[in-house]
Chain A
Amino acid sequence: GQQVMQIPQYQHVQEGEDFTTYCNSSTTLSNIQWYKQRPGGHPVFLIQLVKSGEVKKQKRLTFQFGEAKKNSSLHITATQTTDVGTYFCAGLGANYGQNFVFGPGTRLSVLP
């Protein structure tokens, strides 16, 4: 079945440094979504990417969808302490039903 991997599992950065998490799927995706979950909270939707090679920006966050629609990345510029949390990608397989497969997440901690 479809598998989604994320690296790194953990990332510790100093406030102001950049951060990137990578998401890789074993199969081609029809779309990919990114979520943020704060400790003790629920996942909060950040963005959805649909097109091959798509790049979207939200303030300091930049999201990319690979040309082959099998990988994606989230880059945060100049991290802040409010960026702390776990970032998940979730892929909808191109050849499967409508079930989302989540990556295991990247936990980001930001040291002030």
Chain B
Amino acid sequence: EAQVTQNPRYLITVTGKKLTVTCSQNMNHEYMSWYRQDPGLGLRQIYYSMNVEVTDKGDVPEGYKVSRKEKRNFPLILESPSPNQTSLYFCASMSGQDFGTQYFGPGTRLLVL
């Protein structure tokens, strides 16, 4: 079954405590992406990756890091989380050949106190 998985699904943390949200896909997709969703703002792209070792900034990259060491994994790292990073985060993937269907993970709800 085509799937994008994210962990954890829910996370409460405190300001400044480094955290990682994992993302994995089983479709051999080249393109992977992280979005955050906030009320009234829709989805905003944080970072995306066209392939292994190739990452680029989206619209709101400040305060986030990513890495793409393997094709299937694309972790999102918050080195020093702040309360304004409280949000719902989605990982997504799709074929890099012609884009097409973008599959989203179930989401990670993050609260930074």
Contacts and interface: CB of A to CB of B under 8 A. Distances in A.
Interface of A: 1, 31, 33, 35, 42-45, 48, 88, 90, 92, 97-105
User: Chain B interface residue count: which class?
Assistant: 20 to 34
Interface of B: 31, 33, 35, 40-45, 48, 50, 56-59, 90, 92, 99-107
A103 B42 contact: yes
A49 B35 CA distance: 21
State the majority secondary structure of interface residues on B: strand
B7 to A, nearest CB: 14
B104 A43 contact: yes
B99 to A, nearest CB: 7
29 contacts: A31-B99, A33-B99, A35-B102, A42-B90, A42-B105, A42-B106, A43-B43, A43-B90, A43-B92, A45-B103, A48-B99, A48-B101, A88-B43, A90-B102, A97-B56, A98-B50, A99-B48, A99-B58, A99-B59, A100-B33, A100-B45, A100-B48, A101-B45, A102-B35, A102-B43, A102-B45, A103-B42, A104-B40, A104-B42
